[in-house]
Amino acid sequence: MNERDTIKSVLDTVVNLDIDAVAGQVSSALKAGADPRVVLNDGLCAGMRSVGERFQAGEYFLTELLLAGEVMKAGLVPLEPLLTRTDIQSKGTVVLATVKGDIHDLGKNLVGLMLNASGFEVIDLGYDVAPQRIIAAVRTHKARIVGLSMLLTPMIISLRSTVEEIAKAGLRDQVKVIIGGACTTPGLAKEIGCDGHGEDAMAAVYLCEKFV
């Protein structure tokens, strides 16, 4: 199989929810010479988008969404060491969280992984995170950037109130706030007073590099 076919196999494995095969398919793609970031974006992430489309079409249900999350995690195992670098000086601290009310964390975790690989200290607060925890972490770690992830349209309220709380705490001049995740847009970022929007994990890294 050529490189492209192996990446397509990774995508298919995710869509078929084949948790036993996914790590092997990722390794085959890497052995065929594929760039780890391409395996991630065009294989694992594209597969997850396809799972989401099936869920929306009523072909997949919550059980399949849960399993897809586990398949993604299993597929990341051979990729993670290739996406992580430890030999660079810190570029500053980023506090990362999925907003209150939202438990999707795979995309946020990828953003954290890529930021870390690019030399940022990442304080990952996890998912369903209340604004006050974010504010406390910014103060404790003297963070320069807050990264907020959000995948559920109803949680735009939560995203907006997190940005407002950061401002009320008097930290808005101290930190840049960036957002990302399915259903966020550059327009939304502007509307709620953020400094930027990342389409994917690499875009988040480029934004953070711009800010430091």
Structure tokens at 210: 């711009």
69 touching ligand B1M, by CB under 6 A: yes
Among 65, 83, 188, 212, the residue binding ligand B1M under the rule CB under 6 A is 65
Among 8, 100, 108, 176, the residue binding ligand B1M under the rule CB under 6 A is 108
79 touching ligand B1M, by CB under 6 A: no
Beta-bridged to residue 180, according to DSSP, are 149, 198
Structure tokens at 191: 């509307």
47 touching ligand B1M, by CB under 6 A: no
In order of 105, 165, 206, the CA distances from 126 in angstroms are 7, 18, 22
Among 181, 189, 192, 195, the residue binding ligand B1M under the rule CB under 6 A is 181
Among 13, 116, 149, 162, the residue binding ligand B1M under the rule CB under 6 A is 149
- How many Å is the maximal CA-CA distance in the chain? 56
Name the segment binding ligand B1M (CB under 6 A); options: 16-24, 44-52, 74-82, 135-143: 44-52
**Which 8-state DSSP code applies to residue 128?**
S
* Residue 80 burial (CB count, 10 A): 14
Among 107, 112, 119, 131, the residue binding ligand B1M under the rule CB under 6 A is 107
Please, which residue, 1 or 183, has the CB nearer to ligand B1M? 183
Torsion of CA 180, 37, 2, 29, to 10 degrees: -100
- Whether 167 and 192 have beta carbons less than 8 Å apart is answered as no
- The dihedral built from the CA positions of residue 45, 51, 182 and 19, taken in this order, carries a sign that is negative
Footprint of ligand B1M (CB under 6 A): 45, 48-49, 51-52, 55-56, 62, 65-66, 68-69, 101-108, 110-111, 147-149, 151-153, 178-183, 198, 200-201, 204
